[in-house]
Amino acid sequence: MTFNDRIFGILLLVLAVAYGWGASQFPEPFGGAEAIGPETFPYLLAAVLGLSSLYLIVRPDPDNAWPWSRTGVELLIAMVVLVFYAALLEPLGFIVSTALAVGTLCWRMGAAPLRAFATGAISGVVVFLLFSYALDLSLPLGLLSFLEVS
Amino acid sequence: METLGFLIDGFGVALAPHNLMFGLMGAFLGTLIGALPGLGPANGVAILIPLAFTLGLAPETALIMLTAVYAGAMYGGRISSILLNIPGDEPAMMTCLDGYPMAQQGKAAEALAISAVASFMGSLIATIGLILLAPLLADFALTFGPAEYFALFLLAFATLGGITGKNPMKTVVAACLGLMISTVGIDNTGVQRFTFGVLELYEGVDFILAIVGLFAISELLFFIEEKAGGGKEKMSVNKLELSWADIRGIMPSSIRGGILGFIAGVLPGAGASLGSFIGYTLEKKVVGKKGYFGKGDPRGVAGPEAGNNGASSGALVPMLTLGVPGSGTTAVLLALLISLNITPGPLMFTQNADMVWGVIAALLIGNFLLLVLNIPLVGIFVKLLSVPPMYLLPIVTMIAFVGIYSISNTTFDLYFMVAFGIAGYILRKLEIPLVPIILGLLLGPEMEKNLRHALDIADGDWTILWNSGLAVGLWVFAALGLILPYIVGPILRRRMRAAEAAAGSEGD
């Protein structure tokens, strides 16, 4: 099967065209156009990417299997956890969000739930203390801000 | 000799107490990173860069620490090759061939000690080579004009896949993607390019978060897919019984391996994997019938291990003198230089002489530290091998998050990093190499600047790009770098596989 490379090649070709078109829309730099402007290098890149994506479409490599079914779900869970970790870092605070994110990841990777969340909580607290006291950098406390001493 | 004077100054920098302390810390962390499953050298250095910033280290201290991490990771990689038959990174593959059989015969401690000595010899030889060669190359590089630099960057991309690379076209695709990302932001004529009005994109995409995302986050996703969270069973290491005669026995192999490795490291497109492969095959040829390669011959551990470490120090030569890295990890070190506001390349040897020589001296000192650290502490590192990835990788991910967050204190960067991580996973599935993307991001601005200079000088005449003999030579080599993998690649790859298979069947 050679679908991966062909589909990816088509996507890249679209990207190359869009990128090249985007470059053609740049306003003329202040002081008038010169022999080489902000769009020259992008034009080159668009051309090279276009040609190499054509090559991928014409001569694709054999596919690597995508993980469907359960592993795929696990992967999606991990991706969602990462996005939520980024989103909740500030509102929930570093320690709570780390305990949840690291805990969930450990758990989904096969650790026993209790040990997984314990690992998450301990690593969150340790890194937080390390950052606040040893490195003097503040990480958000969020929900736990009532613990703030200073 | 001028070089000697610089080197002595360099020792002055490297031996300053705090630099020495961070060097030692880096060497220790590096070995840890190399030994831990699922954390290659490029990965490890990438995660530590943001932390080096948040620590507020002086540029030379940060650079010394991360170079020590780099050297340490190369040492650490061999531990899992020998004990688990799993190469920590690709160049360590050849160490498995004789290292693992030695461990099976109950000589794990000897194998580890021998490989430590061989690594030391390899790095030592290559560092001396670096000291001799780098200033010459830097002087030569001063004659480069913008057109030559443009061609040189092309050469760097073309040879990045290496002669043994699979599909050079995918390297081209990856390089283009990286260069495209590097054009995002306000260019030096003040024109906004591809910012889509998003304020955070005005200054372009920070390559550090791209690197951390592409390497560290995608690694996590890969481990989840392979369900490799359980880790490996504990290995026990016997008590070390190594005589001086044993060490003398492997010396010639180490020296040969180190020299070969250094050459392979300096040459574009060869890289550490080829270095250790040549090191191993040469040993087999030289020792001939007297050896028992593939069945636990100590020389089969020493040769490739010295070659691998020699190559990794050799790879620093083009990175320091030309600003053109030849491997993933040196690309990450280049990222560090750029973010410290140091322009790598020939001028660095004159403008930042104390720093360059400080780093080189730190490499020498780091080598001794690593040797001293590695033989008695090997037990600790071995214990770490049994840390299951299901705990390790989430924690590494958390450290990546903290590092990136602490640079800018915005969650926008974190989303970006996660996006790069997911993209990195998909690209790896498609066998698109990630290193050219990083290199494109790093070199993009310089490459465009040189192109503009060259064309401005020639008033828009494109032939300026291949107008000098030097430039033509670079173009030819770049073309060869893309064409050779199609011709020589399959043969070399088959040989490497054959060597591996043969050793595997004999070893069992």
pLDDT, one tens digit for every residue, chain B (508 residues)? 577 888 888 888 888 888 888 888 888 888 888 777 667 777 778 888 887 777 778 888 888 888 888 888 877 777 877 887 776 666 677 777 888 888 888 788 888 888 888 888 988 999 999 888 888 888 888 888 888 888 888 888 887 766 656 678 888 899 999 999 998 888 777 778 887 878 778 888 888 888 888 888 888 888 888 766 555 555 566 666 667 777 787 888 888 888 888 888 887 666 667 777 777 887 777 777 677 777 778 888 888 888 888 888 888 888 888 888 877 778 888 888 888 888 778 888 878 888 888 888 888 888 888 888 777 777 777 777 777 878 888 888 898 888 888 887 888 889 989 999 999 999 988 888 888 898 888 888 888 888 888 888 888 788 888 888 888 888 888 888 788 777 777 777 777 777 666 655 443 3
Spatial contact of A54 and A14, defined as CB atoms under 8 Å apart:
no
Interface of B with A in 196-225 (CB under 8 A): 217, 220-221, 223-225
Q: What is the DSSP letter of B39?
A: -
Q: Is B123 on the interface with A (CB under 8 A)?
A: no
- Residue A48 belongs to a domain: yes
- B199 CA to chain A: closest CA distance, Å? 17
Model-wide pTM > 0.90: no
Among residues A16, A33, A58, which one ends one of the domains?
A: A58
The interface predicted TM-score (ipTM) is 0.89
Spatial contact of B337 and B45, defined as CB atoms under 8 Å apart:
no
Same domain, A94 and A143: yes
Residues of B whose CB is below 8 A from A119: 391, 394-395
Same domain, A49 and A92: no
- Residue A113 belongs to a domain: yes
- Residue A19 belongs to a domain: yes
Residues of B whose CB is below 8 A from A34: 456, 460
Residues of B whose CB is below 8 A from A135: 54-55
Residues of B whose CB is below 8 A from A108: 224
Cβ contacts of B136 within 8 Å, gap of 6 or more: none
Same domain, A52 and A112: no
Same domain, A54 and A82: no
Spatial contact of B276 and B261, defined as CB atoms under 8 Å apart:
yes
State the Cα–Cα distance between residues A46 and B426, nearest whole angstrom: 22
Residues of B whose CB is below 8 A from A43: none
Among residues A34, A58, A82, which one ends one of the domains?
A: A58
Q: What's the structural domain count of chain A? A: 2
State the Cα–Cα distance between residues B322 and B299, nearest whole angstrom: 35
Domain assignment of residue A50, given as a range: 3-58
Spatial contact of B325 and B156, defined as CB atoms under 8 Å apart:
yes
Alpha carbon B400 to its chain's center: 19
- Residue A64 belongs to a domain: no
Of B190, B393, B398, the CB nearest to A123: B398
- Residue A129 belongs to a domain: yes
A:B CB pairs within 8 Å: 165
Same domain, A35 and A85: no
Same domain, A109 and A89: yes
Of B54, B224, B451, the CB nearest to A78: B224
